[in-house]
Amino acid sequence: MQTMIFAHRGASKYAPENTLPAFRLAYQMEADGIETDIQLTKDGIPILIHDEDLRRTTNGRGHIKDYHLEELKTLDAGAYFAATFIGTRILTLEEFLEWASDKPLHLNLELKNNKIDYEDIEIKVLDAIRKYQVKQRTTISSFNPESVKRMRQLDHTLDVAFLRSGKHPNLADYAKELGASSLHVKHTLLTPSLVKACEAAHLPIRVYTVNRTISIKKCLKLHCSGIITDVPDKAHHIRNIFK
């Protein structure tokens, strides 16, 4: 099977991450899928933003969990990136799914609950992907082992990925024990032996964040299931000419 290209937070090299402009651009660049991040607001609404704090990617301050959606919707999530994106707003998960529902995109929804273990985030996200009928082309991922377990208990057929940035002596087996059906690893962890272990465990392996030509080619050579990249156009071009 061909290695799939996921746009990391959208085409985030070229537009503000986790925003509609980044997602639209990724789609135009023919990414196979989109990876995005989910936090919960104070009123329990799933929104798309990577950091628990607002400072880096908006003109707000403080933690997302302390603001209601109505307040967060007043923030600018594009000005930090470039003047052309001034006025870009934070998206809710439902707004994103509504946009993506009629497009042939695979979705990788990362639950950002390894630092703040948001109550009921798993069921809220699961309800949303069921509502928009995209479950069959969606992967839910998390660094939080307990969240992986909870998601698997909620749905036995969903693709659930365990995220890992640090080494582990038996990572494929550990992911399988948690109930994961896929493994997502930082590019520095990718080795032929890990790929073989994932194959033995019947775990698709996807790699983040793969931007350099040499790293993209390595993933292709090892037949990884997916590449998660800030530059989907570059990855698409390399995949087209890769021998």
* Active-site annotation, residues: 8, 50
DSSP secondary structure letter of residue 125: H
Residue 125 burial class via C-beta count within 10 angstroms: exposed 0-12, middle 13-18, buried 19 and up: buried
182 touches 170 (CB < 8 A):
no
Q: Token digits for 89?
A: 């707003």
Select from 96, 99, 90 the least CA-distant residue to 41: 90
DSSP secondary structure letter of residue 119: T
List, as one string, the DSSP characters of 38-107.
EEE-TT--EEE-SSSBSTTTSS--SBGGGS-HHHHTTS-SSTTT-GGGTT--PPBHHHHHHHHTTS--EE
Cα angle, residue 26 at apex, residues 20 and 31 outer, rounded to 5°:
140
Beta bridge partners of 36: 109
- Number of alpha carbons in the 13 Å side-chain half-sphere of residue 114: 15
106 touches 138 (CB < 8 A):
yes
